[in-house]
Structure 1
């Protein structure tokens, strides 16, 4: 029998310790058995001992690279003594090897099949374990063997290794390899140092320290080790699922489910099936379906979202009414007919299917689906193997519910309340102090304020948005009035009614008086005329006159279904406005997360015709990190740079918009710190103090400010306007401008402007620069 070894360059075991094969430790063990009067197999053991002792060569150490063919009958006898008669070399996994070395000189057929590459070299490094770790484990094992055999220390050392092996069908199984060293003798060369067990156990001794104390060249090994292998796929997979559930979080939730789905066929022992787990979490007491889980599902991953939701409701109703496994061994039109949600299984080449509801306390948490392309592959038989896994599935689905609740809370915090992580700690402190106060002594909760914070204000506005909106309204009204006029003229050629002439007169009058800039209430007047006078007449004529029906059907087809009027110019304007604002908001949302990395700050964003934001930064906002002016300067540079990026972003969007819209960008520089407080009634932060209010007044009144003595609006498309009050603010801004000009983000010219006086505010100045729209 060929000796199986690992590649000679992997471990270099010969350089670690001398190790030889020897049958003497085994024979000594049998002699002890023979001397035991109660041992019923003593005659058999005596026969083995006599056989070995009749050949003196079997009592000598044998080099691990020797040819063992002359010893075959002795090895067969040895194997018959060690392993029971029921052992099958083709089904059982075992081997006998050289001590410490990865060298197996007697082994079963299945051992060779599982642990060698093409039947040649031994696979010595299990999947998922580094070579360095295997080497460390081997040396640790060796020293524990020495301490036990030579010093007689009571050692507890692991002789087991978990291997992952590939099966012929492409699956994975786990086997536990046990290395039994009972027939190994440790030989000592020279004098041994004295070791005290109490001192030895009082501190952790590393293998490196032991190598200093007890060099391996002081010892040699003689005997053999027994390798026995047990299939532990079920228990090991179960441990992996436990680890998967315990480590699942929002960032790896989908990945965790996909990993679980690969493990389920292994647990059930049915490798050629696919598994799908779909959670049914509850929102406001109703089970819901998350698209991220349904896309690859055999039942739900079909059609559009509406169809998915329809099948989800059908499946949910079924498992609620029948919370037991639904098994369809042979999928065909007849067997799936009672269940409409299974209609697409044949199209997906699924010929055997099973739905297993996962419930807890009579509540549906989700379903497990098993599918196979082979008819009659699935039945109820393997489900009993699921009894240990089921509680873990319940735990995992409950964990998904908690993850969804956290995501919902994050959205609520982000979109509907002013509470952000950067300031949340202060609210938590206030709440904790409130809870610490005895109930009878509680009054109002303490106010939340942050002192000495620096504000940064920015506004991206849609240029002439009210004019554009007015034009869209006027164009819709004009188009509809012209359509009414033409329709009434055509009707008048068929039906002669004085009322139609009067309506036609009013229509022409409204058209003639429709001004380029709509006056207040003008659109309401036109809409009222169309709804109360035109609409009823045309609807009546459409119902009562087949000749006019095609004409009037064409008229109603041009009306917006939700608004009841011609609305497409306004729709185009609203869609264009929405696209720009969505792009700006998305950019700022991403940037908000980025700027928090340098220093915690409060970022408040709100929609007007465009998007405005205010940022507060200062020591009082940071719970632990020390504030420095460099963080403020960094944020101001970011503010100018981000405005340039927004200008480029909206400029690039321009050709894609149905209504051409342009944006203007403005920054307010305010170098003095202010105090902000949380207003519970409005659930937002506001400034405090008379001096601080001046900042709020400026912020609210500069959106349409003009350049002094020119009548020109400060904000212009393609530019960034920076409003300031003091020379030092201007000098700081110019540094940032110069830097961004060097990066070709801003164009070279800088305009220095005086601004007109605003109500309650005077002395404001501004810098204005053009953005380079040609991105490098």
Structure 2
């Protein structure tokens, strides 16, 4: 019986192949010819019956490709294939008769027909893992085996995916019996030599080469294939679980959980089930939600986390956490309505409309790692019997969770390193080298030692964009907040004095007024601490006492509501200041980080930056860092010029933010670059988790770096760093000439103004002879603004 739709009159139409195909039963009939003389007369008679059909219909032996003949000889074909498709087993066996590389079936068992009928009229039967673009080459490999005796093992398992009556996808493995085929080279077909074979072995994907060795339609194919098909849904479901769990970034994949649901539906043969997970936190004895697209936990429902003892009853707690065994609830509603159990997991399942569930522990030798949750909105479909099917899949889920936990720990460690103790990519190779040596010593039974990480002969570059007057701005904000807080307290105490004429209230008023006066005229370093201590130790107990007086309660409540929970004080103006500083630092650091990507692409170098009242950065460049014989002073000069240009851009970005955002606290910035011409050595300080300079002479660089921005111009009280200007500090005449060249270049690009000055600095401790180039920065109102402005022009814009 013909099962497939026929779109062509000939089975060779619209197919490029080395084969010219004909369906023929010649080799099958040859088997019957040997059975004519069998001792068993029933077997001999049956053989004569089959051969009589063939003798009466020669085309069945000779072969045909006309698709119309399948219908014409339908009864005869069934007669010839009667033994292969036994009527006694037809409702049990899943079997078809086909031709290769065609989704074309011309005889099938009743069981197979029933499976297709259940799948529905619109179901399109396809071999799922048949590589269509490789069928020509696969046909050639068959020829190599059949005609030339080359033993090429190209067998791959092929499958059908066919839904059942409930819409559950079932998997069927196809095993081919090719005993009844003949492959015959046509006249003038090129023969394959050993040399040809050797060439083909290394060129599987070179289709043109294969076609040159096996031209289209150069071999006659006669015969047919019997496909024995087996339901391997359970095995394939387990395999699919393995494959699904192996994939990376599963939590980001929108299809991951839906695929996972489908796999478990196939495994359990149930359509309406869902799968969830919860992670076990051993340290806190809690269940936690697994984060990811489509991830759910039916044990937690809407909670992010829950104590295990709050999520489970005593029995289920011991079952999962102590015994590491699964349990099922086949009828949630029945247990819930009986009132016999007030188990938390029963309540949470019932609230979600879940009627049956299986909870399986994901546990290894170290204990519980999480819970696999399978649920259904139908009662009894999940139970202790089908829960046994999980035995075969749990090892793979456990392995995946172990790997996921390891990956998460590595990710956490990477984030900690990135955010807290970052190792810059330029020097990571050196740390990796020492780590490998450390592991090697451990494996060889030696005492492992992480050797010193040092780089010699590197050139330092240091720069900072400092917020000018930050201390004064902070003090001003503190004064305003304390004044506001003391005045609120004073109003309450004065009101209390009217209600209760106690001398102590007058004394507190006097003390408050004294503090208010000191804030205006004599603000000291310890003023904030003294006032805060006074409020906490003396005023707050009084205010809590006064809360009992109804007429004061509203004012006192307003006061406490205005107090910040973290600072335990009014935190209004200081918050404005802190937010401004935080925003400036964040934006400046972000811009510097973006620009660093470009600089690293020019030539690799070590870079670190950190936030204070502004943003500072260190860079080191040299042969020992790049570990390649490629360093040239040109890369140092390039980095110095890049640094100047970027600091001008950072100044511009800051003042553009001032114009656009109107910060609540108006602050200025000043930029400085420190030039140090001599190469030095740096080493990684394990205790401080950062690089520092090595040696006494090199330490001079660190001394200058920490003190120079506070230095005065010689013979004056003027700081060397000034708002609106970039300052370049140096000690060598060669450095002066070099940086003046950079200044002239940046002037030509309208980064810098023309007011260049060279000044001498006062002597610092153990450091003398420092000089500085100062020049004003030119500004733009926005990135697209081609005009440029001086600092004074910009201040007028900001204050307008």
TM-score category (smaller protein)? 0.7 to 0.9
| Equivalent residue number for residue 563 of structure 2 | 559
Contact residue 6 and residue 102 of structure 1 kept, 8 A: no
Cα pair distance change 1:389/1:702, threshold 3 Å: same
Equivalences for residues 455-534 of structure 1 within 5 A: 455-515=460-520, 518-534=523-539
Using the TM superposition, give the Cα deviation of residue 292 of structure 1 relative to its aligned residue in structure 2, in angstroms: 2.1
Q: Distance in 2 between matches of 1:237 and 1:608?
A: 57
Q: Distance in 2 between matches of 1:219 and 1:285?
A: 71
Contact residue 315 and residue 341 of structure 1 kept, 8 A: yes
Equivalences for residues 349-368 of structure 1 within 5 A: 349-361=353-365, 363-368=367-372
Q: TM-score, normalised by structure 1?
A: 0.82
Equivalences for residues 371-770 of structure 1 within 5 A: 371-417=375-421, 419-430=423-434, 446-515=451-520, 518-543=523-548, 545-546=549-550, 548-585=552-589, 600-623=604-627, 626-627=630-631, 632=636, 639=643, 643=647, 644=649, 648=653, 651-652=656-657, 655=661, 659-661=665-667, 663-670=669-676, 672-689=678-695, 692-704=698-710, 726-727=735-736, 729-730=738-739, 733-734=742-743, 737=746, 741=749, 749=753, 751-758=755-762, 759=764, 760-761=767-768, 762-770=770-778
Q: Secondary structure at the match of 2:106?
A: strand
Q: Secondary structure at the match of 1:774?
A: coil
Equivalences for residues 144-155 of structure 1 within 5 A: 144=144, 147-148=145-146, 150-152=147-149
| Equivalent residue number for residue 296 of structure 2 | 297
Aligned length: 760
Using the TM superposition, give the Cα deviation of residue 645 of structure 1 relative to its aligned residue in structure 2, in angstroms: 5.5
Using the TM superposition, give the Cα deviation of residue 402 of structure 1 relative to its aligned residue in structure 2, in angstroms: 0.8
Using the TM superposition, give the Cα deviation of residue 298 of structure 1 relative to its aligned residue in structure 2, in angstroms: 3.7
| Equivalent residue number for residue 30 of structure 1 | 32
Cα pair distance change 1:93/1:439, threshold 3 Å: closer
| Equivalent residue number for residue 225 of structure 1 | 225
Contact residue 4 and residue 105 of structure 1 kept, 8 A: no
Using the TM superposition, give the Cα deviation of residue 126 of structure 1 relative to its aligned residue in structure 2, in angstroms: 3.4
Contact residue 353 and residue 372 of structure 1 kept, 8 A: yes
* Range 156-165 or range 455-464, more displaced: 156-165
Check if 1:69 corresponds to 2:66: no
Contact residue 294 and residue 300 of structure 1 kept, 8 A: no
| Equivalent residue number for residue 186 of structure 1 | 183
Q: Secondary structure at the match of 1:519?
A: coil
Equivalences for residues 264-275 of structure 1 within 5 A: 264-275=264-275
Using the TM superposition, give the Cα deviation of residue 424 of structure 1 relative to its aligned residue in structure 2, in angstroms: 4.1
Contact residue 99 and residue 181 of structure 1 kept, 8 A: no
Gaps of 5+ in 1: none
Q: Secondary structure at the match of 2:86?
A: coil
Q: Secondary structure at the match of 1:520?
A: coil
Using the TM superposition, give the Cα deviation of residue 349 of structure 1 relative to its aligned residue in structure 2, in angstroms: 4.8
Cα pair distance change 1:567/1:193, threshold 3 Å: closer
Using the TM superposition, give the Cα deviation of residue 504 of structure 1 relative to its aligned residue in structure 2, in angstroms: 1.6
Cα pair distance change 1:342/1:317, threshold 3 Å: closer
Q: Secondary structure at the match of 2:623?
A: coil
Cα pair distance change 1:116/1:338, threshold 3 Å: closer
Q: Distance in 1 between matches of 2:329 and 2:662?
A: 51
| Equivalent residue number for residue 239 of structure 1 | 239
Using the TM superposition, give the Cα deviation of residue 757 of structure 1 relative to its aligned residue in structure 2, in angstroms: 0.4
Contact residue 254 and residue 292 of structure 1 kept, 8 A: no
| Equivalent residue number for residue 158 of structure 1 | 155
Q: Distance in 2 between matches of 1:658 and 1:546?
A: 38
Q: Secondary structure at the match of 2:105?
A: strand
Contact residue 490 and residue 512 of structure 2 kept, 8 A: yes
Using the TM superposition, give the Cα deviation of residue 570 of structure 1 relative to its aligned residue in structure 2, in angstroms: 2.5
CA RMSD of aligned residues (A): 4.6
Using the TM superposition, give the Cα deviation of residue 750 of structure 1 relative to its aligned residue in structure 2, in angstroms: 5.6
The one of 318, 321, 326 equivalent to 1:321 is 318
| Equivalent residue number for residue 106 of structure 1 | 107
The one of 746, 765, 783 equivalent to 1:775 is 783
| Equivalent residue number for residue 140 of structure 2 | 139
Q: Secondary structure at the match of 1:67?
A: helix
Cα pair distance change 1:152/1:415, threshold 3 Å: closer
Equivalences for residues 115-130 of structure 1 within 5 A: 126=128
Q: Distance in 2 between matches of 1:667 and 1:702?
A: 10
Q: Secondary structure at the match of 1:765?
A: strand
* Range 583-592 or range 250-259, more displaced: 250-259
Cα pair distance change 1:70/1:404, threshold 3 Å: closer
Q: Secondary structure at the match of 2:383?
A: coil
Q: Distance in 2 between matches of 1:221 and 1:119?
A: 32
Contact residue 261 and residue 276 of structure 1 kept, 8 A: no
Q: Distance in 1 between matches of 2:96 and 2:187?
A: 33
| Equivalent residue number for residue 797 of structure 2 | none
- 1:247-292 alpha-carbon deviations (Å, 9 max, x no partner): 547997998677545533333332322212334366x787674662
Q: Distance in 1 between matches of 2:258 and 2:729?
A: 54
Equivalences for residues 329-348 of structure 1 within 5 A: 329-332=330-333, 334=337, 338-340=342-344, 345=349, 348=352
Contact residue 458 and residue 679 of structure 2 kept, 8 A: yes
Contact residue 64 and residue 98 of structure 1 kept, 8 A: no
Using the TM superposition, give the Cα deviation of residue 483 of structure 1 relative to its aligned residue in structure 2, in angstroms: 1.5
Q: Secondary structure at the match of 2:494?
A: helix
Contact residue 467 and residue 613 of structure 2 kept, 8 A: yes
Q: Distance in 1 between matches of 2:623 and 2:244?
A: 41
Contact residue 177 and residue 228 of structure 1 kept, 8 A: yes
Q: Distance in 1 between matches of 2:281 and 2:689?
A: 30
Q: Secondary structure at the match of 1:459?
A: strand
Q: Distance in 1 between matches of 2:256 and 2:441?
A: 40
Contact residue 725 and residue 774 of structure 2 kept, 8 A: no
Q: Secondary structure at the match of 1:703?
A: helix
- 1:57-87 alpha-carbon deviations (Å, 9 max, x no partner): 4433222334333312111213322123355
Q: Distance in 2 between matches of 1:593 and 1:240?
A: 42
Q: Secondary structure at the match of 1:178?
A: strand
Using the TM superposition, give the Cα deviation of residue 396 of structure 1 relative to its aligned residue in structure 2, in angstroms: 0.8
Contact residue 182 and residue 222 of structure 2 kept, 8 A: yes
Q: Distance in 1 between matches of 2:184 and 2:436?
A: 68
- 1:19-43 alpha-carbon deviations (Å, 9 max, x no partner): 1122222211222344555897443
Using the TM superposition, give the Cα deviation of residue 406 of structure 1 relative to its aligned residue in structure 2, in angstroms: 0.9
Cα pair distance change 1:21/1:729, threshold 3 Å: same
Using the TM superposition, give the Cα deviation of residue 53 of structure 1 relative to its aligned residue in structure 2, in angstroms: 1.7
Q: Distance in 2 between matches of 1:191 and 1:568?
A: 96
Using the TM superposition, give the Cα deviation of residue 494 of structure 1 relative to its aligned residue in structure 2, in angstroms: 1.2
Contact residue 11 and residue 67 of structure 2 kept, 8 A: no
Q: Distance in 1 between matches of 2:202 and 2:569?
A: 86
* Range 705-714 or range 420-429, more displaced: 705-714
| Equivalent residue number for residue 310 of structure 1 | 306
Using the TM superposition, give the Cα deviation of residue 244 of structure 1 relative to its aligned residue in structure 2, in angstroms: 4.2
Q: TM-score, normalised by structure 2?
A: 0.80
Cα pair distance change 1:224/1:429, threshold 3 Å: closer
